[in-house]
Amino acid sequence: MSKRFIITIITLVVIAVAAAIAIFLAKGYTVSTKEKRIVGTGIINITSEPDAASVFIDGHLTTATNATVSSLAPKIYSVKVIKEGFIPWEREVEVKEGLVTPLKITLFPAIPTMYPLTFTGVANPVLSADGSKLVFIVASGKKAGVSVWTMSRNQPIAFARSSEPHQITTNSEVDYSKASLRWSPDSKQVLATVGKNNYLLNDDTLNTEPRDITAILDSTLKSWDDDTKAKDLARIEAIKDLGTQKLASSSSILRFSPDETKFMFAEENIKFKVYDIESKKQYDLPSAKSHVWLPDSRHVILVDDNTVSVIDFDGTNKAVIYAGKFEDSFVFPWPDSSRLVIISSFPTPTASEPNLYGINLR
């Protein structure tokens, strides 16, 4: 065997060993001098909106979002994300050997901007089942009657005039100023109850001759309730795990997240919880007068007296978005999760009635 051949073999072995070590290191493995062996490490992938936020791991400034932190020994870390002008985010995160732990973080503004959306006065607002439309009453003035606002998921903060509320009926034939309103399950019709009369209104046109369905009201409402129950049952039956199915079906209050990967539930409205269908984990939510899903399915809105907050779906990172007066505990999110809408009244010489106000979350 020639000397050159031996050198070639040794060189190839060295290259192969070096390549193997490089692959192990790239996959997150490292050499432990304490344990005298190659041990696995984990990775945290951190993204945030907005990005370029500072990331502290166990109190040490480590990187900025969006980034990947690798070669972390398996254990529980304290992760804190900070950006000037935004409420800090913090959580304990478990890193496991050989796995990537993704963190998708939303930072909410420390001082959100607030601005009026309507100027004509708003009463009895009701959000549609699909969360994309709002019906409300304008009690007086040129636009008195019932109006609908169709909200665009990608609409910029400066609202386009084409998306402003449109009237679906006026007070010329019927006085709707004190009507109660209800959406159909398909979010295409509105039931307006005025005294003992019940009018079915289409949401996309001006109903000059509103249809009185009082004679068939009971059958109409039963049909709507049956449709709603059928949709909820289909969501429950789509859950593969039988134990999770049972938990959802036995809850007195059940609200699926918009992406249907989680559901909020409670027994007799005592304690609200969130169940993550994918991870099969359950989380307690803080008490509040109302709990509403943010459309991103990663956050829950908490509504209390004179306070509106947003928390992560696991009950952590409570961020107070608004503290002040608003009407009837009414709060709803914009379809793209970019803002919240409340009803409030700020008496001025030109606007003394309650109106819709937007609160930016970005």
Q: Rounded to an integer, what distance in angstroms lies between the CA atom of residue 151 and that of residue 155?
A: 8
User: What pLDDT score was predicted for residue 157?
Assistant: 42
Contact between 151 and 159 (Cβ < 8 Å):
no
Domain assignments of the chain as residue spans, ordered by start: 1-40, 43-107, 114-360
Give the closest residue to 136 by CA, choosing from 175, 171, 179: 179
Q: Rounded to an integer, what distance in angstroms lies between the CA atom of residue 350 and that of residue 167?
A: 22
Q: H helices then E strands: how many in the chain? A: 3, 29
User: What pLDDT score was predicted for residue 21?
Assistant: 64
Which parts of the chain register pLDDT below 50?
156-162
Architecture of the domain whose range is 43-107: Sandwich (2.60)
Contact between 255 and 293 (Cβ < 8 Å):
yes
Query: Within the chain, where are the H helices?
Result: 3-26, 217-237, 242-250
Contact between 80 and 105 (Cβ < 8 Å):
no
Token pair belonging to 24: 């192990």
Q: Rounded to an integer, what distance in angstroms lies between the CA atom of residue 60 and that of residue 140?
A: 59
Q: Rounded to an integer, what distance in angstroms lies between the CA atom of residue 271 and that of residue 36?
A: 50
Side-chain half-sphere CA neighbours of 87 within 13 A:
21
pLDDT in tens, 26-76: 555 655 555 555 667 889 999 999 999 999 999 999 999 999 998 888 999
Calculated CA dihedral for residues 70, 71, 73, 77, nearest 10 degrees: -30
Contact between 333 and 295 (Cβ < 8 Å):
yes
Q: Rounded to an integer, what distance in angstroms lies between the CA atom of residue 156 and that of residue 141?
A: 28
Side-chain half-sphere CA neighbours of 124 within 13 A:
20
Helix axes 217-237, 242-250, angle to 10 degrees: 150
Contact between 297 and 262 (Cβ < 8 Å):
yes
Would you call 292 exposed, middle or buried from its count of C-beta atoms within 10 A (0-12, 13-18, 19+)?
A: buried
User: How many angstroms separate the Cα of 83 from the Cα of each of 33, 106, 170, 269, 310?
Assistant: 37, 11, 48, 36, 18
Q: Rounded to an integer, what distance in angstroms lies between the CA atom of residue 278 and that of residue 14?
A: 44
Cα 218 from chain centroid?
Answer: 34
Residue written as token pair 């059940």: 254
